């Protein structure tokens, strides 16, 4: 049976519920079923979908609900408004600069939410438009597959303010693009567009902005044409093979980040960001 026929057959077996599926906060995270596909929408467009505590907890609740729903065969994460997400809310980073001892408490719920995307036994897809920055790219890396608009931008610029990607970005990126390219992207904090992201293997599909939805639907259809139990098991085996030391490297991330968060460079980086100027790093 062709992929288009497969998605249609499964949709008929489980009609759209319509409306939205309950999540922790329906004002900032919307979840809607399209047949067997759960779409989770980040809905804070007035703040460029910046990730704050409330949004992270709402996303975690939505991911937990999707993981536990036997009728959901695939999860697509999207963003409302002009971009997928601008990353962590700057006010949260400012608070971290003022009190670096909060780092582990600040990081834990984010990492737990992102890990759910990788750990659930069903495929997860991140659909990226506009921009996907910092912690948002780390969310995308935790998904199994990524579909991106050609004119969108993606990157993790943490080193430009004195930090490292520490909610899975430093740990997951090498297994996706290779060590050399991962080092270049992390150590320079460079942003790249969808065309380059596709060329280096960071994303799976690239499309014109007005064709992004169709490209995502096509990938979903291919997944739904396969046996869901087999897909779920394949996901676990492949992840284990590609990232056998993930737990250790995630811990290494936070250990290093604790050092970075206490440096004069990070304090200078956050000041410069707030003042919209180039930072003057001292190496201390």
What pairs with residue 197 in β-bridges?
Answer: none
Q: How far apart are CA 181 and CA 224, in angstroms?
A: 32
The whole-angstrom separation of Cα 256 and Cα 239 is 24
What's 34's DSSP letter? Answer: E
List the Cα angle 77/212/129 in 5-degree steps: 60
Catalytic residue among 138, 222, 258, 280: 138
Three-state secondary-structure class, residue 183: helix
Segments of the chain assigned E as strands:
29-34, 37-42, 74-79, 124-128, 131-133, 145-149, 153-155, 192-193, 205-207
* CA–CA dist 256, 246 (Å, integer): 15
Query: In 3-state terms, what secondary structure has residue 7?
Result: helix
Q: Which residues contact 222 (CB under 8 A, 6 or more apart)?
A: 3
Active site residue 158: yes
Q: Cβ distance 37 to 76 under 8 Å?
A: yes
**Catalytic position from the list 54, 112, 158, 211:** 158
In sequence order, what are the residues at sequence separation of 6 or more whose Cβ sits closer than 8 angstroms to the Cβ of residue 63?
Answer: 40, 75, 113, 116, 117, 120
Angle at 248 between CA 245 and CA 251, to 5 degrees: 145
* Dist CA 168 CA 250 (whole Å): 6
Query: Helices (H), strands (E): how many in the chain?
Result: 12, 9
* 138 has catalytic annotation: yes
Let me know how long the chain is: 284
Radius of gyration of the chain (CA): 19
Q: Which residues are catalytic?
A: 138, 158
């Amino acid at each position: 049976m062709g992929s288009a026929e497969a998605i249609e057959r499964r949709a008929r077996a489980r009609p759209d519920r319509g409306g939205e599926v309950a999540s922790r906060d329906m004002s900032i995270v919307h979840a809607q079923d399209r047949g067997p596909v759960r779409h989770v929408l980040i809905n804070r467009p007035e703040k460029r979908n910046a990730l704050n505590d409330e949004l992270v907890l709402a996303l975690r609740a939505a991911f937990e609900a999707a993981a536990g729903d036997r009728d959901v065969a695939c999860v697509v994460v999207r963003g409302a408004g002009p971009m997928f997400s601008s990353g962590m809310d700057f006010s949260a980073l400012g608070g971290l600069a003022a009190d670096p001892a909060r780092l582990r408490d600040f990081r834990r719920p984010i990492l737990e939410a992102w890990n759910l995307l990788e750990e659930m036994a069903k495929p997860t897809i991140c659909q990226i438009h506009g921009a996907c920055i910092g912690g948002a790219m780390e969310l995308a890396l935790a998904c199994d597959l990524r579909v991106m608009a050609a004119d969108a931008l993606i990157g993790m610029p943490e080193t430009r303010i004195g930090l490292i990607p520490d909610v899975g970005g430093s740990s997951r990126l090498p297994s996706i693009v290779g060590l050399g390219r991962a080092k270049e992207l992390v150590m320079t904090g460079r942003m790249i567009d969808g065309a380059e992201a596709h060329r280096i293997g960071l994303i799976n599909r690239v499309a014109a902005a007005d064709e992004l939805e169709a490209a995502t639907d096509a990938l979903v259809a291919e997944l739904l044409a396969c046996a869901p139990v087999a897909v779920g098991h394949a996901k676990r085996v492949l992840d284990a093979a590609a990232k056998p030391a993930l737990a250790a490297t995630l811990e290494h991330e936070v250990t290093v980040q604790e050092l970075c968060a206490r440096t004069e460079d990070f304090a200078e980086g956050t000041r410069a960001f707030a003042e919209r100027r180039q930072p003057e790093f001292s190496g201390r």
